[in-house]
């Protein structure tokens, strides 16, 4: 029996940030694209992914919807705090800081439910048809033909499109219904998180005040994305506003075992010198557990279907790369889909190029994050690692994206020579870490150690000197580390 189906150029499953980023990128190229979004929720629940880095803010700005960020909290920088001996003396906490100074771009801490809703409102205004709440009760897919039966508020909608994009996040609609497989990966992490109210002020738990931050940065230290680096795990502290703070831990599942995630989360907080004081009087909201954080689909498209955002892959939230990768994907997918509609021709090579490029980008991040968990608690090992990462990220991604807007869509990948360099550094840092464990040593830091990453994106001519400074910091950091190791050898003899 023939049915009358409403026809669209594109149907998107899921109405989160990935879906909206894609629609807005498409409309920049072709405002007449006929898109349907199916979103299952009536209103967005509390969502994770609350730190938006400068690069994603740049993307939002270029989409022409920067105004939505004014309702969010300005992120004032990034901090990494190390406390290898779990000391209650605040002077023993070593800090690696990147305050945000006035410059070309800045980041934000997001109320994600609000942000995703604002984005969805923007795309609706531009003509996207949204069915919400949408329950997909039947889906049939053949090459370049997707037919879905949707139930919404007691009505049935029969819809059809040439292309279907999965933006359903961790629900992973295509993976589930079409049995697409995931790659085998080495990284095996989990996460537990909650929102807190009434957390303690800095003088009860944080490192002593930082004059430079207070006088030069764009805002108070407490609104920075703060990472507590601990053995086999790291914590994020993200103040969403004056009341609510998001706190979560990501850990290596191979090394950190527990039966009950809530008990684990509360015990970890109680036993940690800084967290216990930060949260001594805080009220805690619902605790959420994600058993397996990373995964990567074996492929990102087929003829008539493609994945974007967390429906396809996710690696690790440290330094908040989630939304940035999604924006890069959105730009590339938008070009492919608009081109497909214009020419009515499937550009097989270009789609394959997209697939290979993004799978390479995930592989690069997997390598970096996987290695990092080996020495994540160590101040000098991990900051050496971060400094090397800063050189690559700022000179390879941030700077080109600011100077040449078309470069924005190229995600971070490594050349063969860079891969050799990364492998060497990983090998060296792991070796030093193992040696230190065998010798009962940790990073030797002076009281109140505070070092700056040198990362900034200033206006004017200074902008061009920063990558050179970052190279200098990375090289001197590494040499200092080797010197420390050399000295320790002589001390023994
Ligand atoms: C622990 C952790 C911390 C993170 N922190 C950060 C961070 O600080 N910064 C950052 O940039 N990223 C972070 N991320 C990644 C972050 O989750 C992503 O950036 C982003 O939320 C993914 O967006 P998305 O649109 O792909 O998925 P989602 O935001 O999950 O949106 C998917 C949407 O699809 C809908 N949906 C699902 N199934 C269906 C269905 N069958 N039918 C219809 N609708 C459906 C859902 O209701 C939802 O609205 C973090 C991830 C983890 C695991």
| pLDDT > 90 in the chain, percent | 92
Q: Is the pTM here over 0.85, yes or no?
A: yes
Q: Provide Rg for the chain, Cα atoms.
A: 23
Over residues 430-449, the mean pLDDT reads 94
Residue whose Cα lies nearest atom 2 of ligand 1: it is 317
Question: Quick count: other Cβ atoms within 10 Å of Cβ 30?
Answer: 15
Q: Which residue has the higher pLDDT, 321 or 299?
A: 299
The pLDDT-based confidence of 461 (bands split at 50, 70, 90) is: confident
Kindly report, residue by residue over 106-124, the tens digit of the pLDDT.
Answer: 999 999 999 999 999 999 9
What is the C-alpha to C-alpha distance for residues 137 and 177, in angstroms, rounded to an integer?
Answer: 12
> Taking 60 as the threshold, does the pLDDT of residue 1 lie above it?
no
Question: 255: which DSSP letter?
Answer: T
Nearest CA-CA partner of 14 in 362, 306, 440, 376: 306
pLDDT digits (tens, 9 = 90+) for 280-293: 999 999 999 999 99
Query: What pLDDT shows up at residue 490?
Result: 83
Strand-pair category, 145-152 with 155-166:
antiparallel
- Rounded mean pLDDT of 226-236? 98
Count of C-beta atoms within a 10 Å radius of residue 181: 9
Cβ(293) to ligand 1 under 6 A?
yes
**Domains, the chain:** 6-182+293-492 (3.50.50.60)
- Give me the phi and psi of 376, to 5 degrees please: -65, -25
pLDDT tens for 130-172 read: 999 999 999 999 999 999 999 999 999 999 999 999 999 999 9
Q: What is the distance between the alpha carbons of residues 73 and 248, in angstroms, rounded to a whole number?
A: 19
- What pLDDT band is residue 493 in, cutting at 50, 70 and 90? low
Phi then psi for 106, rounded to 5 degrees? -145, 165
pLDDT value for 156: 96
Indicate the helix (H) or strand (E) that contains 245.
strand 244-252
Which of 310, 315, 321, 411 best tests ligand 1's pocket when mutated (most atoms within 8 Å of CB)?
310
Around Cβ 215, how many Cβ atoms within 10 Å?
A: 8
Ligand 1: nearest atom to the Cα of 309:
26
**Does 3 or 408 have the greater pLDDT score?**
408
The CA-atom distances, in angstroms, between 473 and each of 420, 459, 480 are: 20, 21, 10
> Cα(377) to centroid of ligand 1, in Å?
28
User: Mean per-residue pLDDT for 438-461?
Assistant: 91
Q: Is 309 in the pocket of ligand 1 (CB under 6 A)?
A: yes
Token pair of 370, please? 């996987």
What's the chain's average pLDDT? 95
- Determine how β-strand 35-38 pairs with β-strand 6-13: parallel
Residues 23 and 126: beta-carbon distance below 8 Å: yes
Task: Give the pair of three-digit tokens for residue 207.
Answer: 């490192």
How far is ligand 1, taken at its centre, from the CA of residue 111, in Å?
Answer: 13
The answer, yes or no, to whether residue 2 has pLDDT greater than 60, is no
Cβ proximity of 158 and 5 under 8 Å = yes
From start to end of 107-224, where are the E strands? 108-109, 129-131, 135-142, 145-152, 155-166, 189-197
Q: Which two tokens stand for residue 15?
A: 């109405």
Look at residue 203 in the predicted model and tell me its pLDDT: 93
């Amino acid at each position: 029996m023939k049915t009358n189906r409403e026809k669209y150029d594109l149907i998107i499953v899921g109405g989160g940030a990935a879906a909206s980023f894609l629609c807005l990128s498409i409309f920049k190229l072709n405002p007449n694209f006929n898109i349907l979004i199916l979103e299952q929720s009536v209103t967005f629940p509390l969502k994770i992914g609350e730190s938006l880095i400068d690069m994603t803010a740049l993307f939002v700005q270029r989409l022409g919807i920067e105004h939505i960020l004014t309702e969010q909290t300005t992120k004032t920088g990034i901090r990494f705090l190390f406390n290898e001996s779990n000391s209650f003396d605040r002077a023993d906490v070593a800090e690696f800081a990147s305050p945000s100074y006035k410059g070309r771009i800045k980041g934000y801490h997001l109320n994600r439910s609000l942000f995703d809703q604002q984005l969805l409102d923007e795309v609706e205004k531009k003509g996207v048809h949204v069915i919400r709440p949408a329950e997909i009760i039947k889906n049939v897919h053949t090459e370049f033909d997707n037919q879905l039966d949707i139930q919404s508020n007691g009505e049935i909608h029969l819809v059809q499109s040439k292309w279907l994009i999965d933006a359903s996040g961790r629900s992973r609609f295509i993976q589930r219904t079409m049995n697409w497989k995931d790659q085998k990966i080495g990284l095996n992490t989990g996460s537990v998180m909650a929102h807190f109210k009434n957390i303690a002020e800095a003088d009860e738990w944080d490192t002593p005040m930082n004059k430079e931050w207070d006088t030069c940065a764009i805002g108070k230290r407490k609104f920075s994305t703060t990472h507590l680096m601990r053995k086999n795990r790291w914590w994020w502290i993200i103040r969403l506003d004056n009341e609510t703070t998001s706190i979560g831990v990501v850990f290596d599942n191979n090394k950190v075992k527990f039966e009950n995630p809530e008990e684990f989360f509360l015990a970890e907080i109680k036993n940690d010198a800084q967290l216990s004081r930060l949260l001594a009087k805080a009220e805690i909201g619902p605790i959420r557990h994600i058993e397996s954080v990373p995964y990567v689909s074996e492929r990102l498209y087929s003829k008539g279907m493609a994945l974007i955002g967390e429906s396809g892959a996710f690696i690790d939230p440290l330094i908040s790369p989630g939304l940035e990768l999604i924006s890069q994907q959105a730009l590339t997918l938008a070009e492919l889909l608009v081109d497909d509609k214009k020419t009515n021709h499937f550009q097989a090579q270009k789609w394959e190029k997209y697939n290979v490029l993004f799978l390479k980008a995930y592989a690069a991040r997997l390598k970096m994050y996987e290695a990092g968990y080996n020495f994540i608690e160590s101040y000098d090992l991990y900051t050496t690692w971060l400094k090397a990462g800063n050189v690559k990220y700022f000179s390879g991604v941030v700077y080109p994206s600011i100077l040449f807007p078309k470069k924005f869509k190229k995600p971070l990948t490594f050349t063969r020579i860079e891969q050799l360099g990364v492998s060497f550094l990983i090998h060296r840092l792991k070796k030093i870490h193992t040696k230190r464990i065998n010798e009962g040593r940790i990073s030797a830091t002076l009281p109140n150690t505070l070092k700056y990453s040198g990362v900034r994106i200033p206006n004017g001519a200074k902008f061009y000197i920063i990558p050179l400074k970052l190279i200098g910091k990375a090289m001197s950091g590494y040499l200092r580390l080797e010197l420390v190791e050399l000295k320790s050898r002589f001390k023994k003899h």
